[in-house]
Structure formats: C-alpha cells, structure tokens
Amino acid sequence: MASSVMSTSNTATASPAVSTADLRKSYGDKTVLDGIDLRIPAGTVFALLGPNGAGKTTTVQILSTLIAADGGRAQVAGHDVATSPAGVRAAIGVTGQFAALDDLLTAEENLLLMADLLRLGRREGRKRAQELLERFGIADVAKNRAATFSGGMRRRLDIAMTLVGDPKVIFLDEPTTGLDPRSRRTMWETVRSLVAGGVTVFLTTQYLEEADQLADRIAVLDGGRIVAEGTADELKAQIPGSHVRLRFDDIDEFERAATAFPGAARDDENLALRVAGDAGIDALRALFDRLDAAGVRAADFSVHTPDLDDVFLALTGEGTSAHPLHVKETLR
Ligand SMILES: Nc1ncnc2c1ncn2[C@@H]1O[C@H](COP(=O)(O)OP(=O)(O)OP(=O)(O)O)[C@@H](O)[C@H]1O
Ligand SMILES: [Mg+2]
C-alpha cells in the first residue's frame, strides 16, 4: 500500500476549510464585496477585520449560505456554497452579530431546541446539551431563562448552541463586541479550546487586539477588497516601525542632538527628534549613552511600537484623506 505517500500528498494538498475566489456582492449600486480571495487552512483561526460597513457580516452570510453571492466562488469544508448549500450547513456553526437565543426559553431549552432542529434525537440531544452547559460554565443556570443572562453568559450560550451539531467550521461574527474585558478573555479561551479540538474558526472583529491574540492569519477588509493579509507580525511589519521620540527644552540642545543623530527625523516646531529603530532596553541604553556623549539631556521621550491599530489606521484610511499610509504620530 502506498498509504504513507498518500498521506504526505494529502497534507500537501489538504483542502482548506474555507476558500473563496473573486467573491462579489452588491446591494443596488453599492458594491460591498469587490472580489474577495481567501484561503483558510483547517484547524486555524482566521480573523476578518474591517471598519463598520466593510462587508464582514456580508462575507459571513455568504459563506454560511444565508445569502447568495453575485459572483465568484466559495467553498466551506469542501462544499461549494452555491451548489451544495446543504453540505455547507451540515458542516458549520454560525454565531451571528446579534444573538439568536430565545429569551423566553431556559439555557437548556435553547440547546434542546437546537438539538431538535438538527434532529439529534432525544437522548443524544440531552447528552449534548448537558456536555455543553458544563463546558461553557452555565450548568448551574441551565434552568434559568436566557432573558436573565448577562451579555457574557448570552455569548457563551450562543456559542454553545452553534456547537450542538459538532461543526467543523465555526463563524463568529463579532463574538466579543460589547463584552467587558473579563468576559472577552473568557471568550478568547473558548475560541482557543475550539481550535485545540480541531475546529476551524472564522471570526470577524473590530478589535485589533482580539485578532492579535487569537488569529493565525488576519485579513483587513476595506472598500470591498482585502487590503492586507498575513499574520499579525507580517501586518505590523508593513508599516513604519518602532521609534523613539525625544523632545528637548531648548533649541541648542535640540540642534546638538540632531547632530548626534543625523539620521533622525526633525520636528523643529516641537524641538523633537524621531529616532528609528528597535525600542528594547539595550537599544534605549545605547541611545541615551549617545545623548550623554553629546552632552545633551532630553526633556522627555516616548517609545512608539507599531501595533495592529497602526496597521488598521494605515490600511483602512480611517481618519486620513489623501494619503493611504498614515502613522499615528508622524514627525516631518
Ligand atoms: N440587506 C441589505 N440591503 C442593503 N444593503 C445592505 C444589506 N446588508 C448589508 N448592506 C450594506 O452592505 C454594507 C456592508 O454591510 P455589513 O453588514 O456586511 O458590514 P460589516 O462589516 O459587518 O459592518 P459592522 O462592523 O457594522 O457589522 C453596508 O454598507 C450595509 O449597509
Ligand atoms: Mg457586521
């Protein structure tokens, strides 16, 4: 048997959990998705980032077969969304931006209702519901109506409901919007445990930190297109890097420092210099040694390391007009 050869080639060509090619969607004359290409390996977390109205929910709706695309192709768990929507639905779980709980039902009843919809059978449904109640820390409130739940508990129950059918791919549309920091962290742990269990997670978020914390790969959606795609580190590397900003109290010191750091960018108006480079302790020590050697004292300094917020601002043109590449703090 050529089983080892088979498995090697299977890994090399393993079909992605989600893939799209030139996906398009318009509402009237408004183009929402203008050709989206994605390829998400199984067992990973993918984050789709974008400002309000960018088309994140629209993408999730197409991939979960709730709406049809106008053009292009999309496959989820090996099924084409257009030609095999039932296959897609059987393989996915979706948690919408707005929770799909029935407030009048208890947590347990919500889960059992879902099990019924999925035709799991009474015994299997009860078993699954109990497992999920325990796993999501809501077993002690299983008999309470969802209406009495806090935002964090609602999200947990909502995700538990998507897991009733044991999906391979889970779509989470803004899973932590409106949650307090503690509930957000709990949700992150949940997502991590899902992936550890082999599930592929497709999440949308407006929180850069969330993408940074959770996602193997991130795509930034803006103006109907993917304007950047990569790991958090790759995205951060695309924009101007770390720098130290040194400010001086008088013009003489400023000029002497400028001579000592000929490569630094000058901000004459504020008597400040922007020195590019890594902002680690050793680099900072070297920088201050060099200032000492030049006999200059900085009045104050700040260290700037690019984060995903910078990437987001730079790429989505939020808060900028003409220039596509915008840095929060720019010295000229
Ligand atoms: N059913 C619809 N009819 C008309 N326009 C729609 C419809 N659904 C969405 N849109 C428009 O499509 C665009 C993308 O909407 P979408 O909900 O996908 O954005 P989003 O990235 O999820 O935004 P948010 O961060 O606010 O959730 C918006 O301009 C929205 O107004
Ligand atoms: Mg949305």
Phi/psi for 96 (5° steps) reads: -75, 170
pLDDT at 1: 39
Task: Give Cα 251 distance to the centre of its chain.
Answer: 45
Q: What's the rounded Cα separation, in Å, for the pair 318 and 311?
A: 11
As to burial, measured by CB atoms within 10 angstroms (0-12 exposed, 13-18 middle, 19+ buried), residue 229 is middle
Pocket test for ligand 1, best of 57, 70, 177, 227 (most atoms within 8 A of CB): 57
pLDDT at 326: 32
Digit-coded pLDDT (tens) for 188-203? 988 998 899 889 999 9
As to burial, measured by CB atoms within 10 angstroms (0-12 exposed, 13-18 middle, 19+ buried), residue 177 is middle
Atom of ligand 1 nearest to the CA of 28: 4
Distance from the alpha carbon of residue 14 to the mean position of ligand 1, in angstroms:
33
pLDDT at 311: 74
pLDDT at 318: 52
pLDDT at 312: 74
Q: Where are the domains of the chain?
A: 8-231, 243-326
Q: State which fold the 8-231 domain adopts.
A: Rossmann fold (3.40.50)
Tell me if 52 CB under 6 Å of ligand 1: yes
Tell me if 50 CB under 6 Å of ligand 1: yes
Atom of ligand 1 nearest to the CA of 60: 18
pLDDT at 330: 33
pLDDT at 184: 86
Which residue's alpha carbon is nearest to atom 24 within ligand 1? Answer: 52
Q: What's the rounded Cα separation, in Å, for the pair 173 and 196?
A: 20
Q: What's the rounded Cα separation, in Å, for the pair 204 and 206?
A: 7
Contact 36, 22 (CB under 8 A): yes
Q: Which two three-digit tokens encode residue 185? A: 């962290």
Maximum CA extent, the chain: 82
Phi/psi for 254 (5° steps) reads: -60, -45
Q: 170 by DSSP, 3-state: which?
A: strand
What ligand has the least distance to the C-alpha of 49?
A: 1
Strand-pair partners of 26: 31
Which residue's alpha carbon is nearest to atom 6 within ligand 1? Answer: 27
pLDDT at 91: 93
Q: Which two three-digit tokens encode residue 246? A: 């040194």
Tell me if 54 CB under 6 Å of ligand 1: yes
Tell me if 53 CB under 6 Å of ligand 1: yes
pLDDT at 282: 86
Atom of ligand 1 nearest to the CA of 67: 1
Tell me if 150 CB under 6 Å of ligand 1: no
Tell me if 56 CB under 6 Å of ligand 1: yes
pLDDT at 179: 81
Q: What's the rounded Cα separation, in Å, for the pair 175 and 199?
A: 16
Atom of ligand 1 nearest to the CA of 206: 25
| Binned average pLDDT, 10 residues per bin, the chain of 332 residues | 41 77 97 97 94 93 95 97 94 76 92 89 94 91 93 86 90 87 86 90 88 93 92 78 88 95 91 83 89 93 77 64 33 32
Digit-coded pLDDT (tens) for 30-53? 999 999 999 999 999 999 998 889
